[in-house]
Amino acid sequence: MKKTTKISTKIKILGALLIFLMLSALSTTIYLNQQNVKDALVINIVGKQRMLTQKIAKNIFYIHYSSNKDFYELNAATDEFIKAFNTLKHGNKEKEISSAPTDKISVQLIEVNLLWERFYEDIQNFKLYSNSDDINKDAKLKTLIATIYKDNTILLENVDKLVTLYTEHSETKTEYMESFQYLVTVILLMLLIYSLLQLKSIESHVDQFINYSKMLAADKNGIKIEPIKLETQSEREIVEVSDTINCFINKINSAIDYSNEALLQSQRASDKLEELTDEFDTILNELKNASLVSSHLNISENIVIESAEKLFNATKKLQNLKIELEKLTKSCQDNII
């Protein structure tokens, strides 16, 4: 019977795996929440870029078709768009925002940047022509307004694509994290089931050992003890205890066998001497008139009787030895309990 796995080892391994999986699930949840916060911030920035393009176009149209030549809101919206767009392109360490997370987003940022540069040039030209005294400024502004309207629509569409890409990236990452959480949960449940099966197996092996101990305690014969027979999958601690007890039981059984054999031999010798005594009695009866012969035979008979008594005493001592061994066996059974 050989088993290398200990009960303590099983418990340590199962405990370590459970702790690892729970920490993994916890850390994944925390990371997922942090990423959701960052992704929401980035998506909010990208979505605001779409709003700023419309705000810039609206301010240009308002300034062009009114007598108000205040460019404050236009400049503020333009500066805000540039600052936010730089955050998307290069990231922001203070806000823990990284640069373009995927190649598709990176390509789309380049496309938006090209469109924005052309759109920004139109904005600067509009401000320049609006404050110009050129007699042809109305025609130039009309052409420029038409260009801004067209470019703004194209810019708005590409910013919308950028919003979609950032949203899809965030959703993909969230789905991946959720799948990982589901996987960890399934593994955790499987590990819990495996742990219950292992604990049940350990309990079964311990019950087998306890039932054997109770069987020894209930056995009143005390003649010979059967060694413990455990399953090959029993844990090392149980195997070591059973091997120790079996070793002691084998020694007791060997001593009992030896005493029984000696007792049997002594009994046979006693029977032989009794037969000899009977034969001497028969001879004495036949020769009772021969006094000399009777005298010698009486002496021989006394010797035989004395030898028989010695053998009887030896037999009695061996019986006492057997009783003591039986008491020792009974005491070992009590100790096992």
Residue 207 vs residue 162, higher pLDDT: 162
| Long-range residue pairs from 272-275, CB within 8 A, at least 24 positions apart, any chain | 273/304, 273/307, 273/308, 273/311, 274/308
Helix 236-286 crosses helix 291-336 at what angle (to 10 degrees)? 170
Q: How far is CA 98 from CA 44, 186, 194, 237, in A?
A: 15, 33, 42, 56
Report the SS3 class of residue 229. Answer: coil
pLDDT at 232 over 60: no
pLDDT given at position 293: 52
Residue with tokens 């061996």: 318
Residue 6 vs residue 289, higher pLDDT: 6
pLDDT given at position 16: 81
Q: How far is CA 254 from CA 222, 223, 248, 319, in A?
A: 13, 11, 10, 16
Burial 274-286 (b: 16+ CB within 10 A, else e): eeeeeebeeebee
Once rounded to an integer, what is the mean pLDDT over residues 235-241? 60
CB atoms within 10 A of CB 137: 15
What the chain holds in terms of domains, given with CATH numbers, is 7-202 (1.20.120.1730), 236-336 (1.10.287)
pLDDT given at position 264: 72
Confidence class for position 155, pLDDT limits 50, 70, 90: very high
pLDDT given at position 119: 93
pLDDT given at position 259: 64
Reduced to 3 DSSP states, what percent helix, strand and coil does the chain have, rounded to the nearest 5?
85, 0, 15
24 sits in the region (left: phi over 0; alpha: psi -120 to 50; else beta) called: alpha
Residue 253 vs residue 158, higher pLDDT: 158
**Would the CA dihedral through 311, 315, 317, 321 be positive or negative?**
positive
pLDDT at 333 over 50: yes
Task: Please name the residues in contact with 15: beta carbons below 8 A apart, sequence gap of 6 or more.
Answer: none
Annotate 47-107 with DSSP letters as a single string: HHHHHHHHHHHHHHHHHHTSS----HHHHHHHHHHHHHHHHHHH-BTTTTB-S-SSHHHHH
Residue 199 vs residue 213, higher pLDDT: 199
Confidence class for position 170, pLDDT limits 50, 70, 90: confident
CB atoms within 10 A of CB 49: 22
Q: What is the percentage of the chain residues whose pLDDT exceeds 90?
A: 19
Q: How far is CA 57 from CA 99, 102, 148, in A?
A: 27, 30, 7
Q: What is the percentage of the chain residues whose pLDDT exceeds 70?
A: 59
Task: Tell me how far apart the terminal alpha carbons of the chain are, to the nearest angstrom.
Answer: 23
pLDDT, tens only, 310-319: 666 666 766 7
Q: How far is CA 300 from CA 24, 281, 286, 307, 314, in A?
A: 97, 11, 16, 11, 21
pLDDT given at position 308: 62
Question: How many helices and strands, by DSSP H and E, does the chain display?
Answer: 6, 0
Compute φ and ψ for 223, nearest 5 degrees: -80, -55
* Amino acid letter, 180: F
Confidence class for position 99, pLDDT limits 50, 70, 90: confident
- Mean per-residue pLDDT over the chain, rounded: 76
Residue 237 · residue 7 · CB < 8 Å: yes
pLDDT at 108 over 80: yes
pLDDT given at position 3: 46
Q: What's the whole-model pTM score?
A: 0.56
pLDDT at 220 over 80: no
pLDDT at 19 over 60: yes
Rounded to whole angstroms, the Cα distance separating 328 from 222 reads: 10
Residue 120 · residue 52 · CB < 8 Å: no
Rounded to whole angstroms, the Cα distance separating 284 from 298 reads: 8
Confidence class for position 83, pLDDT limits 50, 70, 90: very high
pLDDT, tens only, 263-311: 676 677 667 667 766 665 666 566 555 555 555 556 655 665 666 666 6
Once rounded to an integer, what is the mean pLDDT over residues 51-80? 88
pLDDT given at position 1: 41
pLDDT given at position 22: 78
